[in-house]
């Protein structure tokens, strides 16, 4: 089975299913109204069919050397076609015997030549190819919207496989990785400065770096790929060193030179401005060749360079102004004395 699918953005080029309707199957249609009238329950019909055509074990014969399972089923000559279903009887609630053909009929139709399973459940695989220029993230987003529109019953379980499953797993692991990195940095900075407050001051510049990286990726129409996420993780270390250079000097000036918070952070900004600019420009110069996409296989590394350059440009302008303000605001909660 092959279906052509396309939407406004041409996300899917084609969709294929692994079901091949080249086989033959028999479908039983139960007249539920007639069955209720005669007192025949669906469970009784299912039990009768399983006893006739299934492998119901009713006993075990034990011998001195072996054991044999006793299986109930109809004779082989009555298993050839569905016409013999009329010879199967079901006991009703009124303790009467009702022929199965009275409440059910069988129709032949095209069916799959094989039935795939995932674990112990029947499974059907639907594969799709991406149209040129479409991303896997857009495709999975449209699939989720389609699932909501179809209102799939709760009994039908859906899951991704292959590249789509790896993509979904990476999306979840990326968030966990960033959160874990921030927690580790907070703990280390808290131990270093013996404070619960000033690590927040240092980490306050990270959102601006993320905004700059995401903004420039959007500007150049690039995906937030795993390589781009590596660039954002690099920004965490590069950007927070700006705040560390200022906060470290300011705290030392407050604790050892008895400076007031405003005087300490202002002195830190003046003395640490040149090394902050030097380190930032050095990191940016190193990322520019990657961002330009030079060399073989550069299209894979280019999102990393663009994310680093964009994050550094935006965060450098923002952190030089917001870090002193946040330091002065949070200092009143750190027990280091009031701001004067």
**218/90 Cα distance (integer angstroms):** 67
143's tokens: 């699939």
Which band of pLDDT confidence, cut at 50, 70 and 90, is reported for residue 13?
Answer: low
pLDDT computed for residue 287 by the predictor: 84
Write down the pLDDT at residue 94. 84
- Token pair 């379980």: residue: 157
Taking only the tens place, the pLDDT of each residue in 25-60 is 778 888 888 888 888 888 888 888 888 888 888 889
- How high is the pLDDT of residue 1? 37
pLDDT tens-digit readout, 102-159: 888 888 877 777 777 777 777 777 777 777 766 677 777 778 788 888 887 777 777 7
Q: What angle do CA 144, 157, 23 make, to 5 degrees?
A: 105
Name the one residue in this structure whose structure tokens are 């011998």: 63
pTM above 0.85, yes or no: no
* Element at 51 (helix H, strand E): helix 42-53
At 277-325, the pLDDT tens digits run: 888 888 888 888 888 877 777 777 888 888 888 888 888 888 788 888 8
> Which region, left, alpha or beta, applies to residue 198 given φ > 0 means left and ψ of -120 to 50 means alpha?
alpha
Residue located via tokens 């954002």: 232
Question: Does residue 2 or residue 253 have the better pLDDT?
Answer: 253
Per the structure block, which two tokens stand in for 172?
């979840």
- Starting at the edge strand found earlier in the chain, the sheet holding 12-17 runs 2-3, 12-17, 126-130
Do 207 and 283 contact (CB within 8 A), yes or no?
no
Confidence at residue 85, expressed as pLDDT on a 0 to 100 scale = 76
Residue 131 DSSP one-character state: P
Query: Closest Cα partner for 312 from 227, 237, 218?
Result: 237
- In angstroms, the CA 249 to CA 268 distance is 6
- pLDDT of 2 reads 37
Domains and their CATH numbers in the chain: 21-111 (3.30.2090.10), 164-331 (1.20.1640.10)
Pairing of strands 89-91, 97-99: antiparallel
Q: Is the pLDDT of residue 8 over 50?
A: no
pLDDT, tens digit, 9 for 90 and up, residues 213-238: 888 888 887 877 778 878 887 887 78
Q: What is the mean pLDDT of the chain?
A: 79
């Amino acid at each position: 089975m092959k279906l052509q699918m396309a939407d406004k953005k041409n996300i899917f080029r084609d969709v294929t299913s692994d079901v091949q309707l080249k086989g033959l199957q028999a479908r039983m249609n139960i007249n539920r109204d007639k069955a209720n009238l005669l007192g025949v329950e669906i469970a009784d019909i299912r039990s009768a069919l399983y006893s006739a055509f299934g492998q119901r074990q009713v006993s075990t014969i034990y011998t001195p050397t072996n054991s044999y399972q006793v299986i109930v089923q109809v004779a082989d000559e009555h298993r050839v076609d569905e016409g013999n279903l009329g010879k199967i009887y079901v006991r009703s609630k009124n303790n009467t015997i009702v022929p199965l053909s009275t409440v059910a009929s069988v129709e032949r139709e095209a069916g799959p030549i094989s039935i795939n399973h995932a674990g112990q459940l029947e499974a059907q695989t639907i594969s799709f190819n991406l149209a040129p220029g479409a991303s896997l993230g857009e495709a999975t987003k449209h699939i989720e919207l389609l699932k909501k529109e179809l209102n799939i019953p709760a009994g039908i379980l859906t899951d991704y496989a292959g590249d789509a499953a790896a993509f979904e797993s990476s999306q979840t692991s990326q968030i966990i990785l960033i959160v874990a990195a921030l927690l580790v940095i907070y703990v280390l900075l808290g131990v270093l400065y013996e404070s619960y407050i000033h690590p927040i001051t240092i980490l306050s510049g990270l959102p601006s770096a993320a905004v700059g990286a995401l903004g420039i990726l959007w500007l150049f129409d690039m995906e937030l790929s795993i390589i781009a996420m590596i660039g954002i993780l690099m920004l965490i270390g590069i950007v927070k060193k700006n705040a560390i250079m200022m906060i470290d000097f300011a705290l030392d000036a407050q604790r050892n030179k008895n400076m007031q918070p405003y005087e300490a952070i202002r002195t830190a900004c003046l003395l640490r401005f040149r090394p902050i600019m030097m380190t930032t420009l050095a990191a940016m110069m190193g990322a520019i060749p990657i961002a330009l996409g030079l060399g073989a296989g550069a299209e894979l590394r280019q999102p990393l360079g663009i994310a680093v350059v964009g994050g550094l440009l935006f965060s450098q302008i923002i952190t030089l102004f917001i870090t002193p303000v946040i330091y002065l605001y949070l200092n009143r909660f750190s027990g280091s004395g009031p701001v004067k």
